[in-house]
């Protein structure tokens, strides 16, 4: 991870502040506020602002049905109830803002979550950092034969080295060409005093997708949990999951009661259709079940059996 001198100074100044406020604060999140948490080879996540905590959720829920506030001892039960019954608006009362540095190809996957306010580093205005994401060898894998958007067997030996060299050489060559078109080096020096550089908005199109970009990403708690439920999942792409795992830890520090309910009901729980519910009831009562009479597709059947660890029932 590499921070510019300006970013390092900004973090130092922000963390040295001793502001007093009447707003609700989260002690756990305050401890890591502004800190750059390293991810991948050059990336990071920073929490730079937030609003509310567990009590904000409880307050919003109770006001919504006219009962005011109650004792803190009942907060956990209420938050679990809200999570269990898919109530959403109380969780929208909390917000958080991140500063994230990530490879462009992950940013393009990430932006599909259209539930946040995003402001990205402008390559029309500034020169992008000379930094590229290169996977570690244990994260180099062949295309999965059963999943069109997943990875299969790990690449090893000469094949892994060849792929890494291709990724590195292509990124460096295109960045060199990017500097040539700009007529300016990354360090700010001019290449040729007698030439004009190509407009930055045009020169950037030559860069590889493993080049790093940065953005501010602000969202509410409900949509953060929706993002994490998908991207911190074991089936998510490794690179975006690395970011989601760090953000999951910030969620725990920010709203610990909500985090516990989220892990229990969203991450650890499962949804069952009416047909699936009948199959589980039949299994509990000792009845024989089979895919032919279940009304489920092969995929639905396998997902249901996997969810309840009934592995001997899985149809290949």
Question: Which residues carry out catalysis?
Answer: 231
* 57 neighbors 82 (Cβ within 8 angstroms): yes
Q: Go through the chain and tell me how many residues it has.
A: 316
* 257 neighbors 281 (Cβ within 8 angstroms): no
* 210 neighbors 103 (Cβ within 8 angstroms): yes
Range list of H helices, the chain = 5-15, 27-30, 54-64, 75-84, 104-110, 157-182, 200-203, 221-231, 238-254, 256-262, 274-284, 291-294, 298-307
Q: Rounded to whole angstroms, how far apart are CA atoms 201 and 17?
A: 37
Residues 6+ apart with CB under 8 A from 109: 237, 240
* 115 neighbors 221 (Cβ within 8 angstroms): no
* 26 neighbors 53 (Cβ within 8 angstroms): yes
Torsion angle of C-alpha atoms 228, 50, 23, 258, degrees rounded to 10: 10
């Amino acid at each position: 991870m590499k921070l510019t001198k300006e970013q390092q100074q900004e973090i130092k100044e922000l963390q040295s502040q001793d502001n007093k406020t009447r707003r609700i604060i989260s002690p756990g999140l305050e401890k890591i506020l502004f800190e750059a948490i390293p991810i991948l080879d050059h990336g990071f996540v920073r929490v730079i602002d937030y609003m509310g905590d567990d009590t904000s959720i409880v307050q919003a829920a109770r006001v919504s049905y006219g009962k005011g506030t109650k004792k803190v001892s009942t907060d956990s039960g209420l938050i679990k109830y809200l999570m269990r019954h898919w109530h959403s608006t109380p969780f929208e009362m909390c917000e958080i803002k991140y500063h994230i540095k990530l490879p462009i190809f992950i940013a393009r996957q990430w932006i599909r979550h259209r539930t946040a306010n995003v402001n990205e580093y402008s390559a029309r205005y500034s020169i992008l950092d000379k930094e590229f994401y290169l996977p570690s060898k244990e994260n180099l894998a062949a295309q999965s034969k059963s999943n069109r958007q997943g990875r299969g067997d790990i690449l090893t030996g000469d094949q892994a080295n060849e792929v890494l060299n291709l990724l590195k050489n292509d990124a460096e060559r295109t960045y060199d060409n990017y500097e040539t078109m700009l007529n300016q080096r990354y360090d700010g020096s001019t290449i040729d005093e007698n030439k004009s550089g190509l407009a930055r908005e045009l020169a950037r199109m030559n860069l590889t997708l493993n080049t790093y970009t940065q953005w501010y990403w602000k969202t509410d708690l409900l949509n953060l949990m929706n993002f994490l439920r998908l991207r911190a999942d074991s089936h998510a792409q490794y690179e975006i999951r690395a970011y989601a795992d760090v953000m999951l830890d910030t969620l725990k520090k920010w709203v610990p009661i909500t985090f516990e309910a989220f892990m229990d009901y969203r991450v650890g729980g499962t949804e069952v259709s009416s047909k699936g519910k009948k199959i589980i009831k039949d299994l509990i009562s000792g009845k024989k079940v089979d895919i032919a009479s279940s009304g489920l597709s092969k995929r639905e059947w396998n997902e249901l059996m996997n969810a309840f660890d009934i592995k001997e029932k899985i149809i290949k």
